[in-house]
Amino acid sequence: MENSLGTQTMSEIELLKQGINQHYRMLELEFFADRIIYPLFASAPHLSEELGEKKAMLMERKERRKEKFSTLLAMMFLNEKLFNALLFSLGDDVRQLVERLSYDEYTASVVELSDAYTNAKVVTRTSKERFDYSGLRPLHVAYMLFATTQPEQIWLPSNYRDYDFSLFLPDEVRQYVRRHFPAKPEYTELLPLQAAPEGQYHYSNEAAIVESAITLANLIDEDIIDYDTKGEKPLKGSLKKVQQLCGFQEFFTIGKARDERQMKEAEYLAMELLISIAEQDDDDIEVKADEAETVAFIRLWLFGLRHQPQIYFSPLKHILVHVKQQYSVYQDFKETSLGSELYALLMDISSVDDVWIGADNLVKKTLYSPDSFRILSKENAKHYFYVTPSRPEDRRYGGAEKKFITSEGSYRRYLTEPLVKGATFLFAAMGLVEIVYDDATSSTPLNDTQYLSPYDNLKAVRITKLGQYLLGRTNTYSAPKSSSSGDKNVGKLVLDEYRLLATLTGANPMLEAALPTFMRLMGNSTGKAGTIAATDSGSRLYVMDSASFLKDCSSKDDVLEKIDLFKKRVGTTFPAIWDTFFEEMLAKVEPLEEQFEYRVFSIKPNRDLMRLLSTDELLKDLVLRAEGHRILIKEDDIPKVKKRLEKFGYLTALEKRKTVRFTTTRRGYW
């Protein structure tokens, strides 16, 4: 890049000015120019030549317009000579803070920056200005190089009320300022670690997922998973059952957690993530030659992750569990980019073959671009999405109970960083990567827990052989041996020839999950009552009766579907007694047929009328007698009955209904 304004692309100047105009006020720009920039040019006149063809306009002191001052500051950020001269004049503290805010952090609290204050009063400020909100400690002019957030009320340890705001560099500025500092490799490339770091957990689910992916898909198809009242979050009982049947490893061992209560909500987090990604239509699954069918299922899940619009991206609600939504603004989400960005993240991890990558390095490189993982607009994040402070003092004395995501720093802290780390845990559950991490803790805890999200303490990640294969890095794949290999899905179901009894010998997760839908578990081989357990090596006895088989059925179609499903799941020859039972069940379906053409009337106590209805030949043909002094008359016969009764002196208000609408529902006509 050239060093004069005349040779800069106007698009760069305009981009910088856009960020400056949005985050700096006229008063701040004017004051900083008068106190810092113009004195700098006066002390080093040759620097003004870097302004190029705009020198005359920008150096004119009498013209006082925001457009002029924003252009001047944009030039100071963009031109390397001017930028270095400016930072030299502002001092080392400011220079270090500029580098820190352009790379490592988005915001810096003024209360924590004691060097940002001076005893001298900045006379152009008033008590209403955010730099001097408390009227006590105005900001040093050197720090007016930074944009500032609005002041927030805080409580100091001494219970003294104060106001704080943060310094930051707008995104448009950060990406250009970085160019003037030495490159930091951890922001531009993934650096291999010499060895896996120490951690409480080393998680690898590759062997288990390859062995049990089909089992998980079938369990979801069986609808054995119960959800909360909103139909969104699987209940823990179902998660535990599926986890036992599939043999998947969970992320956290609750007994090892420093605070067992704190980590309880993450007890079955891996299962939640896997179920959310596996809830896809697998009718069009394609199995490549020399490839296990279970690997094809995982490829299907990865394809769904890559191409599913964000609006339907189910794992998102399990990853960003700490973020709450004020109103429904789904239409404002980006609908296509999230899946592709997650896939790109996984491809990035796979580019470093068979070595560990530090989590901080992964986050920094991923978020180096200001637009990466931008899952919703800043405006929507500011008004509709929030987190809840965990410390009671944050909610006392007028503190907000809802902390909205109003700044770039909070956007990164509450949305993008947890999303990158949470996505890595999702990849680990899918067997695509292995990870090292600790129990979650955070410097910004929420909701009375010790962490922001369960993924806080991710330390390192490494691509697996399965991940390399599914991403096209290798052409062949050989599944690793699971610790339970050879033990699963070997159980056999034997149907009794004389009774509706079935005996399951050995472990078979699919049958163990499917059979309770059709039958009742009587107990194990010792006759004791028991519960389904994937590791139980004893035989189990099931009994089928009308109550166990017909549960959840409401029509003949439901019964037919359940019979077909049972035969498909059991997959064995059926003795005659079982087919006879199914035929009886079908024969008993809907034994009552509603007659819509009849109307029911009750008869007032009248012996003569009762005698007439019993003896008159015409009325005997038209009227059907029922219990409890009731009679039934066809709708079409209503006029005939009325005319016949009038002949014998009985005046009635019977009228044939003008319109009778029939429906196939059980409610009859209406």
Residues 6+ apart with CB under 8 A from 660: 596, 635, 669
Instruction: Give the per-residue pLDDT at 266.
Output: 80
354 falls in which pLDDT band (50, 70, 90)? Answer: confident
Amino acid at 460: A
Count of Cβ atoms closer than 10 Å to residue 22 Cβ: 11
pLDDT tens digits, one per residue of 36-59? 999 999 999 999 898 888 888 888
Count of Cβ atoms closer than 10 Å to residue 21 Cβ: 18
Contact 295, 474 (CB under 8 A): no
CA nearest neighbour of 431 among 278, 227, 221: 278
260 falls in which pLDDT band (50, 70, 90)? Answer: low
Cα distance between residue 243 and residue 263, in whole Å: 18
CA nearest neighbour of 149 among 132, 162, 133, 130: 130
Instruction: Give the per-residue pLDDT at 158.
Output: 53
Cα distance between residue 140 and residue 656, in whole Å: 93
Cα distance between residue 240 and residue 219, in whole Å: 13
Cα distance between residue 315 and residue 418, in whole Å: 13
Specify which residues 405 forms β-bridges with.
Answer: none
Specify which residues 521 forms β-bridges with.
Answer: 542
pLDDT tens digits, one per residue of 310-319? 444 556 777 8
Count of Cβ atoms closer than 10 Å to residue 453 Cβ: 22
Q: What is the H or E stretch that residue 257 is in?
A: none
Instruction: Give the per-residue pLDDT at 530.
Output: 38
130 falls in which pLDDT band (50, 70, 90)? Answer: very low
| Residue with tokens 């990853």, as numbered in its chain | 319
Distances (CA, A) of 455 to 270, 391, 421, 450: 12, 20, 6, 12
What's the N-to-C CA distance of the chain in angstroms? 80
pTM confidence score: 0.69
Cα distance between residue 632 and residue 611, in whole Å: 16
Residue 498 has pLDDT above 60, yes or no: yes
Specify which residues 403 forms β-bridges with.
Answer: 387
